[in-house]
Structure 1
Amino acid sequence: MSNLSYVNENTDAWQTYLAQIDRVAPYLGDLKNYIDTLKRPKRALIVDVPIVMDDGSIQHFEGYRVQHNLSRGPGKGGIRYHPDVDLNEVMALSAWMTIKTAVLNLPFGGAKGGVRVDPRKLSTRELERLTRRFTTEISPVIGPQQDIPAPDVGTNPNIMGWMMDTYSTQHGHTVTGVVTGKPVHLGGSLGRVRATGRGVFITGLQAAKKIGLSIENSKVAVQGFGNVGNEAAYLFSQAGAKVVAVQDHTGTIFNADGFDVKALQNYVEQHHGVAGFENSQKIDNEAFWDVEMDIFIPAALEGQITVERAERLSAKMVLEGANGPTYPSADDALLRRGVTVVPDVICNAGGVTVSYFEWVQDMASYFWSEDEINERLDKLMIQAIEDVWKTSEEKSCSLRTAAYILACERILKARKERGIFPG
């Protein structure tokens, strides 16, 4: 996975987040007095996760659950299984969830969790043991009105089902609302798996209209071909765009005429990566950044777009399907070059939005059709990108700073109006 590992630019994800907060401070007026609230997590839990492996040995894994801010509601955020997971990363991801839920005006705060493990090296039984033990360790701080986990990198609906079952067993009754992203027959929502990729597409369409970029025949490059990247790629191809380059942990493939994205999805499902796909040219991983493109969708890990790579990108628009893929210095470079960056906190918020819908459905025990969910999702995403774009124009700032202005105003107003206990 060398091409999708973090790129060292002398900063980590948490420092990237702090830099983003510092940039928004001048726009907050009196609310700036409360900004330190956003510079430290409310609660961070580190747990030991021992499990018995299939060969009878015992292995220990380190797990985390961070609740960054709960001023606007229960914590909301995914669980990541990845060998590079550490506390700073989880803190940053939880903070970005705080911003993301506020930008979409969802009644949640931000949280995130993770276990430092390569899930591909565990059997299904080992993965289940890991999940159930991790859920038990973090169970004091999660709950449907407290903190609601969801899938993220390395996790999936099955893992959410194990988490829900473990938590429910401890409470003596089924608690569907403790996690989102569950299998549909366990209280999951239709449309959840494809929601993040759909959100990338919807916000991309709106941004393309704003800058006068025609989607038809535009060239799209995608980094990461999991749930987010492959759905976004498919929807753009259906809209007439050409997906010309795709990179994942197995390598980078290129086709100047565009891929059959549906065929690529089927191939990846069978072969667990894009390498070797027919009608494609294998190119060097670093050459990916020099591919001629109109739209770039980073949908892998954070810390991928460095200043050097930002200077090489030919894209007119970057749609951040991943969390934190762009370093602040690279952000400046893209802005200077006139590249429109639709930031992660709005671009990939489709997943948390449908997670909110799932939570609401679980609370009411009443479920909506997929058409209803997509209609509600599209409406919220379009309204959010319109609000951010308007703020960007009014404040003469980037879309990212505009998104942070809206989010921080909502969060810090909630903090101010709730007061600080004890007074």
Structure 2
Amino acid sequence: MSLYLDHLATLQRQAEAALERTGFDALLIASGIEKYAFLDDRPYLFQPNPHFKHWLPLTNHPHSWLAVRPGRKPRVVYFQPDDYWHVPPSAPSGEWVDAVELVIVREPEAAAKALADCVTARTAVIGEGDAALPGLVPNNPEPLLNLLHWARGVKTPYELEQMRAAQRRAVPAHLAARKAFLAGASEAEIHRAYLVASGHTDRDLPYSNIIGLNEHAAVLHYQYQDDSPPPESRSFLIDAGAQVNGYASDITRTWVAPGHDEFAALVAAMEAEQLGLVDEVREGVDYRDIHLSAHRRTARVLRNAGIVKMSEAAMVEEGVTKPFFPHGIGHLLGLQVHDVGGFMASQDGGVADKPEGHRYLRLTRPLQAGMVVTIEPGLYFIPMLLRELRASPHAAQVDWHAVERLSRYGGIRIEDDVACRAAGEAPENLTRDAFAAA
């Protein structure tokens, strides 16, 4: 059996079990609709329902539907309008076509008739409210969603293959961006180099690229791209991914121009600690413990670099690492860059709390084989947070001259996408494997 067909069979088994447990007869999933700007005729970029693209490699197909019923082939209602204003979806093709019962409709409203025999008083309908059609109104039952979201945390072999391919698509673009940085390009020019090398456009990136030169690297989600290069390009932080069949990669690298040895040494120290954190991705490990380990490792870097003179334990205990590392160590990755289910206490729902004082962590579950997570420690020189540290009782323990020197570089983030393997096996570093192959 092919990886995709095996994946589809796994989803069918999971859905049937979830329907039986929650008392529903069938599951209908809307792909979503195309949405328009207020008082305008320009559409926003279409974002498919992740539940829809979990089953099908269809990422640009609004007004389509999927029906899942026990013991039956999935039914796909495929919207393919007659249109001369825009290019309609191409004729259905690919391995998925023979695995489903296919119905093609030319008008969005026709989906209601094509699915009428699937609708009962006990039909679960997953989608946004604006996808509703007569008789097809999303109800998004929470107990069913909990079961599906919990299961989605563990990837099938097919999903892992798509995510490896997303790494291979992103890595050459990261290398092209680095080359442009070293050549003195502007942020906008670096971004364009990334797009060309990845084969992406701004329309189909999994998230907006973060392209920050020098001090801009201190803005965690820096959202602009200067057209003009700075007088001196000292450092470069790029957080950018790619996607294949709806599955994302999410990679961050920090590069240093030649001749900036102090900051280069800091980047090298952070990379060593990042690789240590990657090795902590093991089945059964509480991801919250990896986050706390990241703070201990950040404290070691700060102490060894002479930036903070406190002991590593005291730095973590007193929260001195937080101004330098103010975000979480990572998150689940898959159909969404920040994939769902990261805070679930169990398949029945509930919330697994974040460590006290660490509100930006996006994953609090124990790791399971098949999960893919990001490991992205950072060390930044953020003016707002440094002002707060300077006003704290620990200010005297900080070498503010070193902070001033290093603030010119903004900060460091190094992010790999890592698959957790079975007990006793080392993790698979999807990102490093792709860089090695490139």
Check whether TM > 0.5.
Answer: no
Structure number with the higher helix fraction is 1
- Scaled by the length of structure 2, the TM-score of the pair is 0.25
- Scaled by the length of structure 1, the TM-score of the pair is 0.26
Task: Report which of the two structures shows the higher radius of gyration computed on alpha carbons.
Answer: 2
